[in-house]
Amino acid sequence: MAIIRGTPGNDTITPGFVSPGVTGFPSRFPSNAPDTVFGNAGNDTLNGGGGNDILNGNAGNDTLNGGDGDDRLNGGDGNDILVGDRGSDVFEGGAGDDRMIWNDGDGSDTMRGGAGNDTTVFNGSVALGDQLQLQADGGRAIFQRLNLVPITLDVDDTEQFEINGLGGDETFTVNSLAGTDVQKVTFNGNDGNDRLNANLTAVNIVADGGNGNDILNGGSVDDTLNGGDGDDNLQGNGGNDTLNGGLGNDTLNGGDGDDRLNGGDGNDFLFGGLGNDTLNGEDGDDRLNGGDGNDFLFGGLGNDTLNGGDGDDRLNGGLGNDTLNGGLGNDTLVGGLGNDILTSGSNLDRDVFRFNSISERRDRITDYDIFDADRDIIQVSKAGFNPTGGANALPVGDLPANLFVLGFGGLGNNAGFRYFSGNGNLYFDSDGGGFAGSEVLVTLDNKPNLNAFNNGIEVIV
């Protein structure tokens, strides 16, 4: 057994090679010798070889690799990397932000992070799926692989877990971690159809399913779930979560909290749940439902269906021929480009149908109601409804009576609106010179009896 001491500089000590100035290194350093190695000061690299070694990094940002055998790795001060390798090893991170790494083929280890923000890293099988579990045992965190070659990591004084699946269909269950020091769990499923169940935990979950059809369930606090490629199912549960579907036809459920849901490419279904949520369908023919709360829904590209649900919601169809339903609450509906169908959803609310430019024309409103106390409004943007032919521009505010006519009536030298109650078509006349310069803005399916003094049109900046 040798006792090997490094220098104050950056040393490399490994069977077959040592840095100049290292003392105690035997003339023959068999790889299976049970050695004790001290790194001293500096950023050292210590490799134990095949025996039951004790590696001490001491000061500096050190890298310790135990090699085969039952080793003890002491990082000391600094941000250290500790790799146990084969055998049942004991990790002591010491002060600093340390990474304690388990690789496929290693044994059951005991890990203690020490002071600082420490991370336990698990790198699973590259060929087969791992069945994994993480839970509290008193004040310690117990991580287990339950299949293939079962192992247990007994972890204490560690703030983060990083779980890398690497290959196959991974299953990872995160139970309650109450009483431990764990604050965050990161899961990378990579290729395969992966499943994460973290609904019983109250630590931050960051998960990436990678390629494959993944099922990712977050916990009760703020999580980030990325489906990656494939038809994924993501559920945030409690907390203010961020869910990204990625490629494929995905299902996203925010659950409780103020969540952000992004469908990505594909025909996705997004449900906000409770809270004030933001839903973005992105590419594809998506279905968005805000659920309860004051939500913002954006369809993006494709022919989308948006339902605001309860609350004062804002719906924007984006590009494509979209269907928007505000639901309960005082909602704002913007069809965007394309031939859209807009429904307020309740005659008891004050809903706004907004048109940012005449290019958003040829929409349908199914239930335009201006005759109740909470009457609906058609808003048009002055900047997007420009006059032509020298006509006067629209003034900001409620539309003046002289700028609204029934049928073929005259508008003078003013841009304004024409309405035909027989078919419910509302036109914008940009030059005021007659019907020839008019374009259909929207069709009101219920054909209300609008007039110059009661039409619900408002001009905004």
Q: Which tokens in the block code for residue 451?
A: 């007039």
Local structure of 436: helix, strand or coil: helix
Q: How many helices (H) and strands (E) would you count in the chain?
A: 0, 45
Q: Name the residue with tokens 């494929």.
A: 248
Q: What is the pTM of this model?
A: 0.93
- Burial class, 423, CB count within 10 angstroms (exposed 0-12 / middle 13-18 / buried 19+): exposed
Question: What single letter denotes the amino acid at residue 55?
Answer: L
Q: Parallel, antiparallel, or unpaired for β 171-174 and 195-197? A: parallel
DSSP secondary structure string for all residues of 296-316 = EEE--SSS-EEE--SSS-EEE
**pLDDT tens across 318-333, in order?**
999 999 999 999 999 9
- Alpha helix (H) ranges present in 84-148? none
| pLDDT value of position 15 | 67
- Alpha helix (H) ranges present in 272-378? none
**pLDDT tens across 410-460, in order?**
999 999 999 999 999 999 999 998 899 899 999 999 999 999 999 999 999
Give the Cα separation of 49 and 367 in Å (integer): 78
| pLDDT value of position 16 | 54
Local structure of 155: helix, strand or coil: strand
| pLDDT value of position 14 | 85
Give the Cα separation of 266 and 275 in Å (integer): 25
Mean pLDDT, rounded, of the chain: 95
Query: Mean pLDDT across the stretch 354-368?
Result: 97
Local structure of 320: helix, strand or coil: coil
- Of all residues in the chain, the percent with pLDDT exceeding 70 is 95
DSSP secondary structure string for all residues of 233-284 = EEE--SSS-EEE--SSS-EEE--SSS-EEE--SSS-EEE--SSS-EEE--SS
Q: Which tokens in the block code for residue 448?
A: 């209300």
Q: Which tokens in the block code for residue 273?
A: 């749940």
Give the Cα separation of 368 and 360 in Å (integer): 18
Q: Which tokens in the block code for residue 329?
A: 């609450």
**pLDDT tens across 125-174, in order?**
999 999 999 999 999 999 999 999 999 999 999 999 999 999 899 999 99
Is residue 200 within 8 Å of 219, Cβ to Cβ? yes
Query: Mean pLDDT across the stretch 4-17?
Result: 82
Is residue 370 within 8 Å of 351, Cβ to Cβ? no
Half-sphere exposure of 47 (CA within 13 A, CB side): 14
| pLDDT value of position 347 | 73
Give the Cα separation of 310 and 291 in Å (integer): 6
Q: Residue 398 pLDDT more than 90?
A: yes
pLDDT band at 8 (very low <50, low <70, confident <90, very high): confident
Query: Which of 213, 210, 240 is closest to 224 using CA atoms?
Result: 240
**pLDDT tens across 173-200, in order?**
999 999 999 999 999 999 999 999 999 9
**pLDDT tens across 64-103, in order?**
999 999 999 999 999 999 999 999 999 999 999 999 999 9
**pLDDT tens across 202-228, in order?**
999 999 999 999 999 999 999 999 999
Query: Which of 258, 351, 342 is closest to 306 using CA atoms?
Result: 342
Phi and psi of 99, rounded to 5°? -120, 120
Q: Residue 24 pLDDT more than 60?
A: no
In our burial notation (b when 16+ CB lie closer than 10 A, e otherwise), range 176-214 reads ebeebbbebbbbbbbbbbbbbbbbbbebbbbbbbbbbbb
Q: How many CB atoms lie within 10 A of CB 108?
A: 17
| pLDDT value of position 22 | 60
| pLDDT value of position 26 | 56
pLDDT band at 49 (very low <50, low <70, confident <90, very high): confident
Query: Which of 255, 271, 224 is closest to 263 using CA atoms?
Result: 271
Query: Which of 37, 59, 50 is closest to 86 using CA atoms?
Result: 50
Distances (CA, A) of 358 to 45, 107, 277, 337: 68, 68, 29, 10
Q: Residue 11 pLDDT more than 60?
A: yes
Give the Cα separation of 284 and 356 in Å (integer): 23
17 Cβ neighbours under 8 A, 6+ residues apart: none
Q: How many CB atoms lie within 10 A of CB 333?
A: 28
Residues β-bridged to residue 314: 296, 332
Give the Cα separation of 329 and 378 in Å (integer): 17
Give the Cα separation of 222 and 240 in Å (integer): 5
Q: Residue 391 pLDDT more than 90?
A: yes
DSSP secondary structure string for all residues of 192-240 = S--EEE-TT--SEEEEE--SS--EEE--SS--EEE--SSS-EEE--SSS
**pLDDT tens across 273-329, in order?**
999 999 999 999 999 999 999 999 999 999 999 999 999 999 999 999 999 999 999
Report the chain's C-alpha Rg in angstroms. 32
Q: Which tokens in the block code for residue 333?
A: 């509906």
